[in-house]
Amino acid sequence: MLKLYHAPRSRSLRVLWLLEELGVDYELELIPFRKLLAGEHRTPDYLALHPLGEVPLLRDGELRLFESGAICTWLSERHPEAGLTPSDGDERARWLQWLFFAVATLEPPAWTRLRHRRMLPPEKRNAATLLSATRRYKKALAVLEEQLADGREWLLGERFSAADILCVNTLLWARELLDEAPSATAWCQRARARPACRRAERIR
């Protein structure tokens, strides 16, 4: 059976949400967020499973998989019957584009902003770094806003996919900037109203 190592409010929520969307059986190893922040989960046993000691980690028999983007892509492809995964053609190409956009373009400035606004101790926060990350983040957000401005339901149109999960989860790190993007705001609300997302968010 699949086993997910998950800490609520962390990136592993992406995988949990997707598992709920796919409707597959899984086992959960819950790491309290407080424990994650304190690094208390970094036991020798856990580091033997995940070389960076992070979450998410997914196990499937002998397979140990880390990186939320890779896990979401792999799970989606493994469960085409759920209808979340474009099988080929232009839709699949666009799906890959948005998956990579989420982790390579949207997430880095969102993460840098979060650290320099809230997570680092005040003396380590840097105003110039925050400003440049905010600029890059706003450019990425504008790309999403443009994609959604035609009123489409999801990034790919009618098909909800892991690309929506990765992007929406990341946008929540910078809610204070969402006002500038009404279509993206409505999309985040639609996505988070999905029963699978609600179930995943409730697990604590």
Binding site for ligand GSH (CB under 6 A): 10-11, 36, 39, 42, 53-56, 66-69
Quick one: angle between helices 162-171 and 68-78, nearest 10? 150
For residue 89, the minimal CB distance to ligand GSH (Å) is 27
Return the number of the residue (26 or 145) whose C-beta is nearest ligand GSH.
Answer: 26
Across 12-26, b (16+ Cβ under 10 Å) vs e yields bbbbbbbbbbbeeeb
Return the number of the residue (67 or 201) whose C-beta is nearest ligand GSH.
Answer: 67
For residue 10, the minimal CB distance to ligand GSH (Å) is 4
CB nearest ligand GSH: which residue?
Answer: 54
Cis peptide before 86 (omega within 30 of 0): no
The radius of gyration of the chain's CA atoms, rounded to the nearest angstrom, is: 17
Contacts of 114 (CB under 8 A, 6+ apart): 173, 174
Name the nearest CA neighbour of 166 among 48, 21, 54, 3. 21
For residue 107, the minimal CB distance to ligand GSH (Å) is 8
For residue 121, the minimal CB distance to ligand GSH (Å) is 17
For residue 73, the minimal CB distance to ligand GSH (Å) is 12
For residue 115, the minimal CB distance to ligand GSH (Å) is 11
Return the number of the residue (6 or 145) whose C-beta is nearest ligand GSH.
Answer: 6
- Three-state SS for 60-89 is ECCEEEECHHHHHHHHHHHCHHHCCCCCCH
Strands 26-30 and 57-60: unpaired
Return the number of the residue (34 or 195) whose C-beta is nearest ligand GSH.
Answer: 34
CA 9 to chain centroid: 11
Return the number of the residue (69 or 86) whose C-beta is nearest ligand GSH.
Answer: 69
Return the number of the residue (68 or 85) whose C-beta is nearest ligand GSH.
Answer: 68
